């Protein structure tokens, strides 16, 4: 591989790693805020939000640290590609477990819980140029499916008379769903720039949810 291509690859890995680290920190903060908030309002979906974001935060920080290490030259991209692949696949699995937790929490709230229950969300990273399209695309389709369930159940809750905070959290999940659609599109057109755009939208969804929960937890 030419020097310019290698540098571009390292830049993408470094940028993806930075976004993962930032999103991981925000995910852990969101987990803590949701945990403290649910002790006040006793809204059961917040338990699922808190646990799901805890899983996502830990996975993202580990994945982001590894990606940044490779991108900055602390590790060799090709010698450590196997480790990167395993870490990426492990995070994809962890991410979808978290999304499943969110879907369960939302479904439980929609059909067995209180009308004023809140919504849920998460976050992910996998180097799409290292994991391969089959693994990446399958994970994106699964994520889109689970998040679509979350959004659908959230809309059901809203149709029964939701609160302002539940609508704002649902908006955050809408951004999260859009981020995975963008990432899947990046794989379809083989354009890594759209992958970065998807990561940015995903980070925005995390930040919005953390801000919404932090604001309303003070009331």
DSSP class per residue in the chain: --HHHHHHHHHHHHHHHHHHHHHHHHHHHHHHHHHHHHHHH--THHHHHHHHHHHHHHHHHHHHHHHHHHHTTSS-TTTTHHHHHHHHHHHHHHHHHHHHHHHHHHHHHHHTS-TT-----------HHHH-HHHHHHHHHHHHHHHHHHHHHHHHHHHTT--HHHHHHHHHHHHHHHHHHHHHHHHHHT-HHHHHHHHHHHHHHHHHHHHHHHHHHT-
Residues of the chain falling short of pLDDT 70: 1-10, 12, 38-45, 71, 73-85, 109-135, 162-163, 216-219
pLDDT the model gives residue 39: 64
Q: What is the pLDDT of residue 76?
A: 59
Tell me what pLDDT residue 42 has.
56
The reported pLDDT for the residue numbered 111 is: 62
Fold of 3-217: Rhopdopsin 7-helix transmembrane proteins (1.20.1070)
Query: What is the model's pLDDT at position 43?
Result: 53
Domain boundaries, the chain: 3-217
> pTM of the entire structure?
0.65
Q: How much is the pLDDT for 122?
A: 35
């Amino acid at each position: 591989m030419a020097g310019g291509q290698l540098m571009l690859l390292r830049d993408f890995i470094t940028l993806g790693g930075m976004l993962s680290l930032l999103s991981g920190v925000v995910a852990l903060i969101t987990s803590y805020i949701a945990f403290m908030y649910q002790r006040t309002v006793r809204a059961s979906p917040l338990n699922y939000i808190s646990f799901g974001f805890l899983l996502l935060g830990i996975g993202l920080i580990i994945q982001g640290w590894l990606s940044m290490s490779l991108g900055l030259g602390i590790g060799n991209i090709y010698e450590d590609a196997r480790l990167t692949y395993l870490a990426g696949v492990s995070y994809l699995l962890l991410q979808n477990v978290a999304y499943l937790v969110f879907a369960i929490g939302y479904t439980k709230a929609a059909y067995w819980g209180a009308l004023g229950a809140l919504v849920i969300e998460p976050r992910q990273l996998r180097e799409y140029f290292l994991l391969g399209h089959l693994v990446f695309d399958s994970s994106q389709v699964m994520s889109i499916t689970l998040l679509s369930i979350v959004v659908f159940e959230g809309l059901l809750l809203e149709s029964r008379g939701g609160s302002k905070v539940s609508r704002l959290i649902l908006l955050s999940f809408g951004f999260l769903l859009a981020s995975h659609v963008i990432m899947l599109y990046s794989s379809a057109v083989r354009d890594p720039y759209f992958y970065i755009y998807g990561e940015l939208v995903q980070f925005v969804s995390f930040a919005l949810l953390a801000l919404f929960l932090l604001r309303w937890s003070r009331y």
